[in-house]
Amino acid sequence: MSIASRKEVAELAGVSEATVSRVLNNVGPLKEETKERVLAAALQLGYTPSSLAQSFARRRSGNLGVVMPYLPKTRWFSTYYFSEILSGIGSKAREEGYDLLMLFRNAEEPMDYSELFKMRKIDACIVLGAKEEPGELDSLRRLKEEGHPYCLINQHFEGEAFHEVDADHVEGSWQAVRHLLNQGFTRIAFLNGPASYSNSRDRLTGYLRALEESNLPLDDSLLFEGNFSRKSGVIAAKEMLPLLNAIDAIVAANDRMAIGLQQGLQELGIPRDHIPAIVGYDDSDAAELTTPALSSVRVPFYELGEIAVTKVLELLGCSPSETSSSSQVIHIKLPTELVIRASSKIMNPKEE
Amino acid sequence: MSIASRKEVAELAGVSEATVSRVLNNVGPLKEETKERVLAAALQLGYTPSSLAQSFARRRSGNLGVVMPYLPKTRWFSTYYFSEILSGIGSKAREEGYDLLMLFRNAEEPMDYSELFKMRKIDACIVLGAKEEPGELDSLRRLKEEGHPYCLINQHFEGEAFHEVDADHVEGSWQAVRHLLNQGFTRIAFLNGPASYSNSRDRLTGYLRALEESNLPLDDSLLFEGNFSRKSGVIAAKEMLPLLNAIDAIVAANDRMAIGLQQGLQELGIPRDHIPAIVGYDDSDAAELTTPALSSVRVPFYELGEIAVTKVLELLGCSPSETSSSSQVIHIKLPTELVIRASSKIMNPKEE
């Protein structure tokens, strides 16, 4: 369904846009023939300025779009990361009278945001789990250029001025490594997430900064990569096995991978008091339940979701030109906080 | 937004409906003045038969509604129960080309399903976390009467023939109690959820059935109620404390409450080998992470979500009269399965 513009009506009727307005507003003297030509053209194109089209064009769906990644059979909703952000988004959206439209992004097919807004499927959107990939970047650039209200959560694109709400992962990762260094650990392995996520790159920055401050060189053999799943933590445990004597401690980029590491190392027969100190990331529910309980970096996911809703609804009140103006780019960074538990304490394997 | 009818256009232009059709379809000889009057009236009323209004009236939104409970600040998305069901719904919906519209139900204000369908916000809907309450029941009855495609998950209303997809909680609960009885436990406490949920009532039925089969009387003092939160498990631990010598084992209606019980009893200073055998319910991720690992009843939540989507989309293909006909009521019950871990084994407190 397309909504014609006044310009298209003018072209079809062979008159000026001003004449279209005069006919439609019934202003001033006009030839009957001109009037009819304009009315016929307007009708033919579905241009109905007085009611339907305009009210349609103006009306809001009452839906807030939430763009999620999609992979067949992957339980995104079941991850602490997405579920907490969604809880924050859902709660705030509900308070503000909005329903959430969950949109699943296909890896191959970038989102067509224009279409979503044009079809009034959504009034604003929040983008989760965005990645540094060409298709996605183009899609987000168009979203921005068209001046739709949007906000990214937890993803920064270098050199782009997108609206974003993020947590300070440089700080979070720095705190985790700093804590381990303070306890005398120096050979600290790092199990990071994929580099296509800015939060992985931020964590690496924090890791490197903490090492530098202690005048420790970077040892590439201590850098590992997983995909944030528990399974990738189990796999990393196997990869670390040959080096285990040279590893004092491990920082993982989320709790799932940290728990996978704990379990993987146990399954490989490593006695509990030989398992390196481990710090996870996210401070999920599970961190308190593992044995030993997992030290972790707390990220205010729920609050990220809430703030993103507040911000996109503020943008929704703005005109498109204001929204796309770079002087008003939203750039919020919430603090992270290290929570210390038994998994990262020295020589205390019995503590639970 | 109102969509004008041909009749209204005819009235405003002072012509017959047939004339309106002839003008709009440009059929036969017509006076210029009549033509113009009709076109002006159509335009004024926003009557655009050929495109906008009709396609709007006929079109589908492409949205599948998912009705969730809502309480301020409650993290529904973060519970294993909802997150797994939503993962199943989301995955299947995406496969079928649908987006999910999350609708948050207000406890005081029942859902207005008619409005959601009339406004083309959704094409079909799945109702989660429904409760036996008058407002909700009325709302669901109207939904059914109007013949919209819908399906309830995990809630049965006694005496109503609603479309529903459920798991066999009588069987699940029976298995849990049976397992404890088989190990020689006879004083089995039951921490159930609120009775307004049919799945709580089903679990009680399974509990009672297992006791009866063993010729054990029901002892009301062993029945406790929580609200499915971890905190309510901690509270139940305190309530059970005075009776603890008379309790051999505990069945909880979900893992969160079971974990709250474990933690609550530990915090009350009960030594691990004096904590009764515990069986949880849901078999969430957390069940494997607690110490001792939690026995639990596995519920195919993800599959419940997938099947509900398949079923409502099948209904969507039906005419409203078929949908509301009681001969075709959907009533699916998936099996549950007891997973035995250390928490419910006899005298094996060191096992993890």
Partner B, chain A 135-164, Cβ-Cβ below 8 Å: none
Distance CA A263, CA A236 (A): 11
Query: Cβ B61–A259 below 8 Å, yes or no?
Result: no
Provide the pLDDT confidence category of residue B319 given band limits of 50, 70 and 90.
Answer: low
B45 interfaces chain A, CB cutoff of 8 Å: yes
pLDDT of amino acid A184: 95
Lowest mean pLDDT among A5-9, A168-172, B30-34, B154-158: B30-34
Q: Could you give all domains of chain A from N- to C-terminal order, each with its CATH number?
A: 6-58 (1.10.260.40), 63-167+302-336 (3.40.50.2300), 169-299+338-344 (3.40.50.2300)
pLDDT of amino acid B324: 58
Confidence check: pLDDT of B57 > 50: no
Distance CA A185, CA A259 (A): 20
Cα A345 to Cα A275, B130, B340: the distances in Å are: 12, 45, 32
Chain B partners within 8 Å of A82 (Cβ): 77
Chain A partners within 8 Å of B86 (Cβ): 77
Residue-wise pLDDT tens digits, A187-230: 999 999 999 999 999 999 999 999 999 999 999 999 999 999 99
Query: Cβ B56–A59 below 8 Å, yes or no?
Result: no
Overall average pLDDT of the B118-139 stretch: 89
Chain A partners within 8 Å of B101 (Cβ): 63, 99-102
| Nearest-CB residue to B51 (from A40, A46, A82) | A46
Residue-wise pLDDT tens digits, B40-51: 787 777 776 544
pLDDT of amino acid B269: 95
Provide the pLDDT confidence category of residue A134 given band limits of 50, 70 and 90.
Answer: confident
Rounded to the nearest angstrom, the minimum Cα separation between A221 and chain B is 30
The two most distant CA atoms of chain A are separated, in Å, by: 95
Confidence check: pLDDT of B197 > 90: yes
Query: Cβ A56–B52 below 8 Å, yes or no?
Result: yes
B291 interfaces chain A, CB cutoff of 8 Å: yes
pLDDT of amino acid B216: 96
Overall average pLDDT of the B92-105 stretch: 91
Residue-wise pLDDT tens digits, A310-323: 999 999 887 666 65
| Nearest-CB residue to B45 (from A51, A86, A91) | A51
pLDDT of amino acid B348: 44
Q: What is residue A303's three-state secondary structure?
A: helix
pLDDT of amino acid B69: 87
B91 interfaces chain A, CB cutoff of 8 Å: yes
Q: Which residues pair with A64 in a beta bridge?
A: A100, A124
pLDDT of amino acid A132: 84
DSSP state, residue A328: G
User: b/e for B291-319, b at 16 or more Cβ within 10 A?
Assistant: bbbbbbbbbbbbbbbbbbbbbbbebbeee
Distance CA B304, CA A145 (A): 41
Overall average pLDDT of the B258-277 stretch: 94
pLDDT of amino acid A322: 60
B3 interfaces chain A, CB cutoff of 8 Å: yes
pLDDT of amino acid B51: 40
Confidence check: pLDDT of A23 > 90: no
Query: Cβ B51–A56 below 8 Å, yes or no?
Result: no
Query: Cβ B63–A101 below 8 Å, yes or no?
Result: yes
Overall average pLDDT of the A178-185 stretch: 96
pLDDT of amino acid B296: 98
Provide the pLDDT confidence category of residue A53 given band limits of 50, 70 and 90.
Answer: very low
Q: H/E/C letters for each residue in A72-141?
A: CCCCHHHCHHHHHHHHHHHHHHHHCCCEEEEEEECCCCCCCHHHHHHCCCCCEEEECCCCCCHHHHHHHH
- Of A190, A192, A194, A196, nearest to A156 by C-alpha is A196
Q: What percentage of residues in chain B have a pLDDT greater than 70?
A: 90
Confidence check: pLDDT of A112 > 90: no
Overall average pLDDT of the B321-345 stretch: 84
- Of A304, A2, A325, nearest to A164 by C-alpha is A304
Q: Which residue of B has its CA nearest to A94?
A: B104
